[in-house]
Structure 1
Amino acid sequence: MTPTRFPRSTSLYSRRKVLRGGAAGAGLFGTGLLGAGLLGFPAIAQSNRPVFTHGVQSGDVTTDSGIIWARTDRPARLLVEVATSDSFSNAQRLRGPAAIDGNDFTTKMDLTGLPAGQDIFYRLQWQDLADVNLLSEPMVGRFRTGPAGKRDITFVWTGDTCGQGWGINLDWGGMRCYETMRNTRPDFFIHSGDTIYADNPLETEKMQPDGTVWKNVMIEEKAKVAETLAEFRGNYKYNLMDENVKRFNAEVPMLAQWDDHEVVNNWYPGEMLISDDRYTVKSADLLAARANKAFLEYMPIRQHPSDRERIYRKIPYGPLLDVFFIDLRSYRGPNSSNNQPVRSRDTDFLGPQQLTWLKQQLLASKATWKVIASDMPIGIVVADGESAFENGANGSGPVLGREHDIADLLSFIKHNDIKQTVFFTADVHYTAAHYYDPSKAQFRDFNPFWEFVSGPVHAGSFGPGRMDDTFGPQVVYSKDPAGERNLPPSSELQFFGHVRIDGETEAMTVTLKDLNDKDLYTVTLEPASA
């Protein structure tokens, strides 16, 4: 078979025209992998056919690949058409993976061998495995691969979806911030963690500070804390019920990481939930294993070939950008007073293996900008009760506890002359821009850098947090509820960030935005001179 290359599309993407309503990589240009002519999507005139239960998603997009995701209501095989035009006139047809009950009828497929810098359109259909003559209605989505050369790149980031009892309120318009982000037409979306709130049950009605009632759409799995695998899965299904989220997912690829609420608030390996009467399952490790499976089933994430539970990874997106996703949850020591003067297993934050991996990847990166997507900020103190700490910051002073990992990383970046490293994060439920200045720090063996904080996208608003001067963070900007706690989404203190990398100058412009797409703060970071 002679491989067929996709022609470059000159048509503009039309939402009206296109969007209605764990398999091995599928190389589109490799010999023997095309499957052209194998599948055909006939006109549908069947009853009792399979359905797409929660829309379609894409994620982990690189210069030549992208993950696509879907879920159905029964054992069914995914049939795939891939094209570079929304007319699908040049489509390649692929036999996709089967969705079965072991993965809750979800499936993912890695499309490989894609052209760089190209809009990719995918049209999916389910084939019932019990009756192969039953086919679903098709669904369509798109993503854009990273460029081979220098061109403008845009992305958005935020975190914290459906937390603190604020669920889908149809009267308010659902999870509206997703629609705001969609309208900025980003190349991709970084979800910085707390993709669900498995430990935050919903009630049918919740009182708002102004005395009005917030009305939540309800499903059984959101009526209690998640303990079973089915309950963790139900939390993801709930978020995917929102029409704003489904529209967003069909158009914008998601690069996701997790934090704590995918499992339980402030969890760490080895924790026992002895005093939390809501849980009959007391082992955080058992909850985390179930939560990890649900996360990997429902997120369009490319899994590591040998470590199937691993979440930290690198996403290359052309010569101007590499994104490094870290996991500050799975390899940490116990939450404690966090004041140990010497490194030990108890002070682990990234853990030795992940920290070594991150150093190696940063050192090898040739991209202009190295974005570290972190599920927790560096300099904001986040407490866990009265005497323990949740992140690295532990109050002002020298490097102690989990700060050892951060100091090690920052010193490595300095001494290896790794330029243009920027941190993007969420977690604290307000938005801020922090400039880390060694001249104002207790620990000074690092180069200045920026950290940008955003969120929540749909959850309670909190903050501001107390700052720790160990690494000299300067609060350049903050938008927060001024000490009020758990303000609802209707307070409009919902935030996301927007990033644009200029393809010509290579400058990075970061803009902090709110629910209504108002620009709150903007800064342009120039690339360092060679």
Structure 2
Amino acid sequence: MNLSRRQLLAASTVAGASLAVPGVATAAPNVVRRDRPALPSGIMSGDVTENSAIVWSRTDRRGRLVVDLTSNGRFDRAIRLRGPITGPDDDFTAQLPLKGLRPGQRYDYRIAFEDSWGRRGETLEGAFGTPGRNRGLSFVWTGDTAGQGYGINPEIGGMAAYKAMHQTRPDFFLHSGDNIYADGPIEAELKVADGTVWKNVVTEEVSKVAETLAEYRGRYKYNLLDDNVRALYADVPIVSQWDDHETLNNWYPGEILTDDRYTEKRVDVLAARARKAFLEYLPMVHSAGRNRIYRKVSYGPLLDVFCLDMRTYRGANPTPDTVGPVAMLGAEQAAWLVREAAASKATWKVIASDMPLGLLVPDGPLIEAVANGVSGAPGGREHEIAWVLSQFKRRKVRNTIWLTADVHYAAAHHYDPSRAAYTDFDPFWELVAGPVNAGTFGPNALDSTFGPKVEFVKAADFPSQSPAGGNQFFGHVSIDPRSGVFTASLRNLFGTVLWSQDINPARH
């Protein structure tokens, strides 16, 4: 939906309004009638740039998405935008792209659905801010939601780490993958190794491993039952990636399962259903086609975020002693990353990687991530990453930071060719966060191929520690608009800063 200059002027009376978003999204005053469309899963915005955004919601019956948009919080001056009609084919979800927005502007939006008689149902309000020049920028990132059987526990206030992230008032939230755990049933009670009992809200769709499209969709609906999740998503735009658990653990294309829990053994069939649910339930740009997940999200002169997809194009998980190259990104995505990063004019280039580079992540006797645990020259999936890093050096791509999750603990790694077996790259940081509501593990072994050094680590007190132990982790970044300093911190369930680092930008 393109907004004309006239529409934008009509919707705004305050030029250059603050980027700050409100603390809590609230429902507009209305009476929710059972004969009108409801909003059972809340509202979201996503992939916000200087002049565009996407808004999302879900209703409970066939209806048309209607969005009221204003830039000063006064809905009596809002413009009304009519979006798509949704139905059971999309699980009653709908997204509306917004284009022609102003840089450096706060926007408030109100979402409802109209039924076939034109009657509007329940309404909810949210907000987002577009990045602008001469403005600072902050964001949070993490991964791993509702894993190891840890779902919504009312006794600890639900998914409490989402509240801690919300309280930092970020400009956006980067979810680094494992938005759901489709392969992990959630039961009413879970006995923890420390003798405590974790209690969950449960629904039918999360009671078994997901195989059907309805079961994959049900995982997203489950997470959106949590008040903390819904409040964050209404106030803070999301940038979404996927990893393995959106489908099932450690999967790769072409895999045939031997897991007796599954009646459908073909992973490609399951992955197609999982992808449809992922794209239905998370707002994101599809500029290169509906099914492509990797993309760049630009946040103005300070930051470009390059969201990778390390799942769709990978080869079969190799053995540690595999010498030849094995795909992780795939040739097309790897070339895209190098080309787009080299063309970027932003001060910082965040490489949003759904898996870490230097940590050993095994899949039984095989290798699940990049590192193979063998010191020396690159082997297996390390070849592709070596090529990317070398191309960054040759093309003078400066100020790259790799952000990731996946391993269920927090860490800061600094990579330097002076410590590495493979030396054709410039030094860089990799920062690891998560889980946000799942079992905590770690630490994992570190592979020396690219010369990483552990600068910080905080792991579980025991394997699969519950969120109640406080060892849930997210990262926070702020970028100063004058100096360009990238300040990164790693924080726990309560928002306590455990580690922080100011990283100065290299000048081009």
TM-score by length of 1: 0.92
Which of 105, 116, 120 is the matching residue for 1:135?
A: 120
Cα shift at 1:13: 5.5
Cα shift at 1:50: 1.0
* 1:380–1:466 Cα contact (<8 Å) kept: yes
The CA distance in 2 between the partners of 1:98 and 1:384, in whole Å, is: 43
- The 3-state SS of whatever aligns with 1:123 is strand
> Letter of the aligned partner of 1:384 in structure 2?
D
1:422 aligned onto 2:405: no
1:359 aligned onto 2:338: yes
Which of 11, 36, 57 is the matching residue for 1:70?
A: 57
The CA distance in 1 between the partners of 2:32 and 2:229, in whole Å, is: 29
* 2:104–2:131 Cα contact (<8 Å) kept: yes
- The 3-state SS of whatever aligns with 1:161 is coil
Quickly say closer, same or farther: Cα 1:45–1:124, change in 2 above 3 A.
closer
* 2:21–2:128 Cα contact (<8 Å) kept: no
Q: Which residue of 2 aligns with 1:215?
A: 199
Deviations 1:502-527 (A, max 9, x none): 01111100011111111100000101
Cα shift at 1:14: 4.8
* 1:8–1:118 Cα contact (<8 Å) kept: no
1:19 aligned onto 2:26: yes
Deviations 1:31-57 (A, max 9, x none): xxxxxxxxxxx9768551110010001
The CA distance in 1 between the partners of 2:388 and 2:32, in whole Å, is: 59
1:312 aligned onto 2:294: yes
Q: Which residue of 1 aligns with 2:73?
A: 86
Cα shift at 1:2: 7.7
The CA distance in 2 between the partners of 1:388 and 1:70, in whole Å, is: 40
> Letter of the aligned partner of 2:278 in structure 1?
F
Once superposed, what is the RMSD of the aligned Cα atoms? Answer: 1.6
The CA distance in 2 between the partners of 1:449 and 1:196, in whole Å, is: 30
Count of equivalent residues: 499
Quickly say closer, same or farther: Cα 1:304–1:338, change in 2 above 3 A.
farther
- The 3-state SS of whatever aligns with 1:471 is coil
* 1:199–1:265 Cα contact (<8 Å) kept: yes
> Letter of the aligned partner of 2:313 in structure 1?
Y
Which of 107, 129, 149 is the matching residue for 1:144?
A: 129
- Any gaps of 5 or more consecutive residues in structure 1? 22-41
- The 3-state SS of whatever aligns with 1:156 is strand
The CA distance in 1 between the partners of 2:313 and 2:287, in whole Å, is: 16
Quickly say closer, same or farther: Cα 1:509–1:137, change in 2 above 3 A.
same
TM-score by length of 2: 0.95
- The 3-state SS of whatever aligns with 1:53 is coil
Which of 451, 476, 486 is the matching residue for 1:508?
A: 486
The CA distance in 1 between the partners of 2:428 and 2:30, in whole Å, is: 56
The CA distance in 2 between the partners of 1:372 and 1:46, in whole Å, is: 45
Cα shift at 1:304: 3.3
1:206 aligned onto 2:190: yes
Q: Which residue of 2 aligns with 1:33?
A: none
* 2:21–2:169 Cα contact (<8 Å) kept: no
1:403 aligned onto 2:386: no
Cα shift at 1:103: 0.3
* 1:232–1:291 Cα contact (<8 Å) kept: yes
Quickly say closer, same or farther: Cα 1:45–1:381, change in 2 above 3 A.
closer
Quickly say closer, same or farther: Cα 1:388–1:82, change in 2 above 3 A.
same
Cα shift at 1:8: 2.9
Deviations 1:231-269 (A, max 9, x none): 000000000000100001100010000000000100000
The CA distance in 2 between the partners of 1:477 and 1:249, in whole Å, is: 29
- The 3-state SS of whatever aligns with 2:155 is coil
The CA distance in 1 between the partners of 2:438 and 2:453, in whole Å, is: 26
- The 3-state SS of whatever aligns with 2:205 is helix
Cα shift at 1:138: 1.4
> Letter of the aligned partner of 1:144 in structure 2?
G
Quickly say closer, same or farther: Cα 1:46–1:485, change in 2 above 3 A.
closer
